[in-house]
Structure 1
Amino acid sequence: MQIVETRAGAAMVAAIDGRLDTATAAEAETKLLALLGAGPLIVDLEAVRYVSSAGLRVLLKTAKQAQSAGVKFSVCALQPAVREVFEISGFDRIIPSYATRAEAIAAG
C-alpha cells in the first residue's frame, strides 16, 4: 500500500494505492490522522480494490477525529466493490463520498 499526498487548494488529498486491510491499517491510520492538521482531508480510493473491516475502522476513526477537530473529511472515487462494502456497512451514511476527486474538491 502507498499513500500519495497532494494539496488541492485548501484540501489535502491522500490517494491510497493497494489494499486497505489488516496488514496496512496501522500505517494508513498513522498517515491519515497526521494529515488532519493540514486542513480538509479527502481520501482518494480510486486505486483501492479491497477494504477489510480493519480498513473501515481506519476510515471511521479518521472521520471521528476530523469531526472532533472541526475538519472536513470525505472519500472519493470508490471502486464498485469498495462502494458495495461502504453501502452494506452503512458508511455511506456516515462519511461523505464523491464519485470523483474533482467533485470532492469542489465540495470544499
Structure 2
Amino acid sequence: MDITEKQIDGAWLVAASGRIDSNSAPALEAVLPERVQQHAATIMDLSSVAYVSSAGLRVFLKGVKAAKASGHKLVLTGLSPSVYEVFEISGFTAIFTIADDIDAGLAAIG
C-alpha cells in the first residue's frame, strides 16, 4: 500500500492505494488518526484501494473516533463496490460519511 498526502481546498487529503490488510494497516494507522486530529477536515481517498480487511476497518474506526474526539471531520471517498460492501456488511456505512469522489467529499465537509 502507498499513502500520499496533500492540502486540497481547505481539507487534508490522504490517499491510499493497493490493499489495506494486516500487513499494510500499520502504515495507515501511523498516519490517519494523527492527521484527523491535526486538521479540521480530512478526506481519505480510497479510489485506488482494491481490498480492505478487518485490520483496515480497525484503523478507519480509530481514525473516525479520533476525528470525533477532536471535533473534526473525516470523509471517505472513492470506495469501489467491493470495498463499499465490506463497509456495509460491517455496519460502518452508518458510522462514516462516505462520498463518491473527492469533489463530493469536499462538498460533504461543507
Bucket of the pairwise TM-score, normalised by the shorter protein: over 0.9
**Where does residue 107 of structure 1 map in the other structure?**
108
Partner letter of residue 60 of structure 1?
L
CA RMSD of aligned residues (A): 0.8
Percent of residue pairs bearing the same amino acid type: 41
Q: What per-residue deviation string (whole Å, max 9, x for no partner) do you get for residues 15-46 of structure 1?
A: 10111110011110111122120331110000
Superposed displacement of residue 6, structure 1: 1.5
- Deviation of 1:74 after TM superposition, in Å, equals 1.2
Cα distance in 2 for partners of 1:70, 1:10 equals 16
2:49 counterpart letter in structure 1: V
Equivalent positions of 1:27-46 (< 5 A) are 27-36=27-36, 37-46=38-47
Task: Identify unmatched segments of 5+ residues in structure 2.
Answer: none
CA distance in 2, matches of 1:65, 1:84: 24
- Structure 1 runs (4+) deviating above 6 angstroms are none
Residues paired across the two proteins, number: 108
Confirm whether residue 2 of structure 1 aligns to residue 2 of structure 2.
Answer: yes
Gaps of 5+ in 1: none
Partner of 1:98: 99
What is the distance in 2 between the residues matched to 1:87 and 1:34? 25
Q: Which residue of 2 aligns with 1:88?
A: 89
Secondary structure at the aligned position of 2:79 is classed as coil
Q: TM-score, normalised by structure 1?
A: 0.96
Query: How many Å separate the matches in 2 of 1:74 and 1:83?
Result: 14
Partner of 1:70: 71
Letter in 1 for 2:107: A
